[in-house]
Each structure stands twice: as C-alpha cells, then as structure tokens.
Structure 1
Amino acid sequence: MKKYLIFLYAVLGYILSIGSLSFLILWIYPWEFIKFTINNPIITLDINPIFLNTSLLLLFALQHSIMARSFFKDKLLKNISNGVKSANYSLASSICLIIMFYFWQPIEGVLWDFQSDVVFWSITIVYIVGWITAFLATFIIHHFELFGLYQGYRVLRNIPEPEVKFQVNYFYKYVRHPIQSGTLVGLWATPYMSHTHLFLSMGMTIYVLIGLHYEEKSLINTFGDKYKKYIDTTPMLLPFALRR
C-alpha cells in the first residue's frame, strides 16, 4: 500500500509542476485571452510592490536552492524514499509558483511597448522557441525523472536506483544548460516589457545564474574531470559564446 501512495504522491507532484509551469508561460506574456497576467493581478494589495515581489522571488529561490542541495536531500531527508523526496520538491516548487501568481503586484512603468503586428509576432516566435527549447531539453535528460514522476514509478515497480551517467546529447552539445537558456529567452522575449515584467525577469535571471554556479560545482563533484572537460569545450548558456 505504501508504494502506491508514494506513486500517487509523485503523480500529484508531476501534475502540479506541469500545470504551474504551463500557467507561468501564459502568465508572463501579454496575451489578450488571459484574464490574469503578470500585469493584471488576481488580487490588489496595499503593500509596496517591490517589497512584496522581492519576497515572493526570495521564497521561490530559497525553496529551490535549499531543497536541491545535498545536505537537505541526503542528510535531513536521508531516511525518506527518493520517490517522496522528488515529489516533495515538485509540490513545493508548484506551491511557490502558485503563491507568486496569486500575490504578485504590478509596478508602474513600461520599458518598451512594440505596437506593430510584425514585431509582436516576431518576438512571439522567439518567445515560443525559447520555451519549446527548455521543454525539449527536459526530455533529453529524462523529463519524468526531472519532475519526480519516475522516482515514484521506481518505488511502485521495485526498480533499483539507476547509475548516474554523464552524457552529452542534442542541445547539450552546444550549451551546458539548455533548459535555463530557453527559460531566459522566454522571460525576456516580450513585445511589452512593463516594469513589473522587468522586475520578474531580472530576479529570475539573477537566481538562474547563482543557481548554475552551485549546480556546476555539484556536477564537478559528481563527474569530476569529465565535466571539467565539458566546461572547457561547451559554453554555459549561449551557443558559440565564450566558454564559462
């Protein structure tokens, strides 16, 4: 019975993760058919928006950073099944995003606003390509494991933990972190860059860069010289850019 509950918990975490990320992609873009967006809040609060939005970004960043670190997974949760650990991370990440959607407040001002249909759809294509790139990259490194579903399935089927292997396929031949590359394109490619959107994009970009710094250290500890050679030959985020 326990393994079925773990699997259902992993399924719930996966559904919430995909749902919240899908809403994020719609939420940040100026689509007319979306009622609530980053510029049209669900609720209006009489709180300094910079203070509140900074708090929401910190909540998201701290949750991701702390729960992803080895001291949290391997020490604090050492007696918990990996299926539950991964599902916990997926659920917590989804909850943080939902909280952000609900409480995020607009900041006055607009950085740019392109009215031309040609420009709008050109930027929209870039925006879509960015998110598609990030989405496809998750499948290259095992989409269902990344979101915790496969860990729950392994518990259900009594499948042992797989050996961690270092592989470089498809997008990963050109950049070390294509998921983050696509995400950053999706965050910045918009025909209407309000100060509200700019604040989110800047905050998320800072978080991504800091997170990648520690992720790279973790990957070097895991794969050693193989990953160091990968760093020497492959740029981090921009294809054909200077390495590191």
Structure 2
Amino acid sequence: MKRITILAYGLISYALFFVTFLYSIGFVGNLWVPRSIDSEPTLPLGSALLVNLGLLTLFALQHSGMARPAFKRWLTRFIPQAAERSTYVLLSTLFMAVLMLFWAPLGGGIWQAESHWAIVLLNSLYLASWGLLLYATFLINHFDLFGLRQVWSAFQKQPSKELKFVTPGLYRLIRHPIYLGWLGILWFTPTMTVTHLLFAVGASLYILVGIQLEERDLQAAHPEYAQYKRKVPALVPSFKRRLSSSHTSTAA
C-alpha cells in the first residue's frame, strides 16, 4: 500500500504540474487563457506592486530553498526519500498557481510591436522558448527532474540511484539551457507592459541568483563540474568554447 501511495502521489504531483505548466504558457504570453499577466488592473498601483513583489519573493524562496541539499536532508526525516522530489514539484506547482491566481496587473505600457510580422516573430520566439525549456529537461532526464523516476523505482522496490553528471546535446554549448528558455519566456513579448516588466525583471534576478546557488551545489556534488564550468558558458552559447566529446565522456 505504501508503494502504491507514493506512486500515486508522484503521478498526481506531476499531473498538477503539467496542467499548471500549460496554463502558465497562456498566462505569461497573454494567450488563450481568461486571466493573464496583463489582465485589467483591479487594485491601486501601490497595493498591486506590494502584492506582486510578495508573490515573486514567496515563489523564489520556496523554489530555491527547497532545492538546497540541507533542506532535502531535513525533509526526508519526515517523508520517504522517494517522495522528496515529488513534494518539491507539488509545492512549486502550488506556489506558481498562487502567483498566477493572485497576480495584480499594474497596467502601463513600455513597448508595443506594431508590425504584424514583428508580433508573429516575438510570439514565435516566446513559444520556442517554452519548447527549449521542455526539450532541455528531457536531455538531462525529465522524469527524474519531476520525481517520476524516484516514485517508480520505489514502486518496483528498486533503489533510486543518484544520476551521474552528464552533458548531453545543448549542455555542451551552454550550462543552463533551461534558464535560457526561461529568459526567452520572460522577455520575448510583442507587448511589454509595466506589469510584464516587473515580472520579467524579478524573475530574471531570481534566475541569476539561482544559477549561483545551483552551481555551488553541483560543484559540491560533482567535482568535475568545475572543469565543465570553465569550458562552457552559462547562458550565451559559445561555439569556440564548445565542450569536446572527450570532456563529455569524462564528465559522464
């Protein structure tokens, strides 16, 4: 029964994540959904600003804090090891849903693409950024990243081994293609409002801080990451510094 419960927990957590993931595409891009990042303002400017800054801060603290090894060790004193990643996914999903539910549009315009083709191009780049993000998760192991591998291993009564450090595909050109996808999601828009700018700046700052925290943990867990970091840029692909296949094999 415990194995079935853990598996069901992981599947439900992933299903909720995927639904929220799909809705967030429309929310950030002002596409298809009834309430998006640039819906009509309903709060005074000062109140809306405080609400949004609070929501961004809460999401950043949860998303980054729960990813730290010390927090994971503390959490697994109370829940099964196999459910730890699914718990992270579930709470990240809930915090993202709360952010979208209570987000308070500010109004105001920064820029607006006028040309039809400029609008098509920016929206295409926006959607392509989501594609890049999703593709990058599958390169490193999508099902491990979202907790499914762990709960399935527990269901089969098999130990869930730690994955080795690997640098497949895009990871030979850039260390953080997932974060690069997020940056494209934040900034590729035909209509940049004050609301969207606040979201983009806040999330971009979080990404830059998150990279530092994540790489500190990766270097502690994988000594070979230091060499990888020296040879491969973080966010801007450089073909001159492309990681060779020999370095990839040693990293793996």
Contact 1:235–1:241 (8 Å) recurs in 2: no
Amino acid at match of 2:26: L
**Where does the alignment leave 5 or more consecutive residues of structure 2 unmatched?**
242-252
Q: Secondary structure at the match of 2:66?
A: helix
Q: Is 1:235–1:242's contact at 8 Å kept on the other side of the alignment?
A: no
Amino acid at match of 1:234: V
1:209 matched residue in structure 2: 208
Per-residue CA distance 1:175-205 (angstroms, 9 max, x = gap): 0011111111111100001111111111111
What residue number does 1:240 align with?
238
**Offset of residue 45 of structure 1:** 4.3
**Paired residues, what number?**
240
Instruction: Tell me, in whole angstroms, the C-alpha distance in 1 between the residues paired with 2:20 and 2:240.
Output: 34
Q: Secondary structure, in 3 states, of the residue corresponding to 2:73?
A: helix
Q: Following the alignment from structure 2 to structure 1, what is the Cα–Cα distance between the partners of residues 129 and 19?
A: 18
Question: Which contiguous aligned blocks of 4+ residues in structure 1 show a shift greater than 4 angstroms?
Answer: none
Q: Indicate if the aligned counterparts of 2:27 and 2:36 stay in contact, CA closer than 8 A.
A: yes
**Per-residue displacement from partner, 1:84-128 (whole Å, max 9, x unpaired)?**
211211111111111111110111311101121110011112112
**Counterpart among 203, 227, 234 of residue 225 in structure 2:** 227
* Counterparts in 2 of 1:242 and 1:210: CA distance versus 1, 3 Å: farther
Partners of 1:125 and 1:106 in 2: CA distance:
24
Letter of the 2:22 counterpart: S
2:250 — aligned with what?
none
Deviations 1:121-152 (CA, angstroms, capped at 9, x unpaired): 11112112211111000001110111112211
User: How far has the Cα of 1:242 moved from its partner?
Assistant: 10
SS state at 1:131 partner: helix
The residue type paired with residue 191 of structure 1 is: P
Partners in 2 of 1:90 and 1:34 — Cα distance? 23
Counterpart CA distance in 2 for 1:142 and 1:159 is: 18
- Aligned letter for 2:183? L
Pair 1:13-2:2 in alignment? no
* Deviation of 1:16 (Å): 1.0
The Cα shift of 1:163 comes to: 3.7
**TM-score, L = length of structure 1:** 0.93
What are the equivalent positions in structure 2 for 1:90-129 lying under 5 Å apart? Answer: 90-129=89-128
- Fraction of identical pairs, as percent: 34
Alpha-carbon offset, residue 83 of structure 1 = 2.3
SS in 2 for 1:111: strand
Paired letter, 1:20: T
Aligned-pair Cα RMSD in Å: 1.8
Partners of 1:238 and 1:10 in 2: CA distance: 34
Is residue 161 from structure 1 mapped to residue 164 from structure 2 by the alignment?
A: no
CA contact (8 A) 1:16 1:90 kept: no
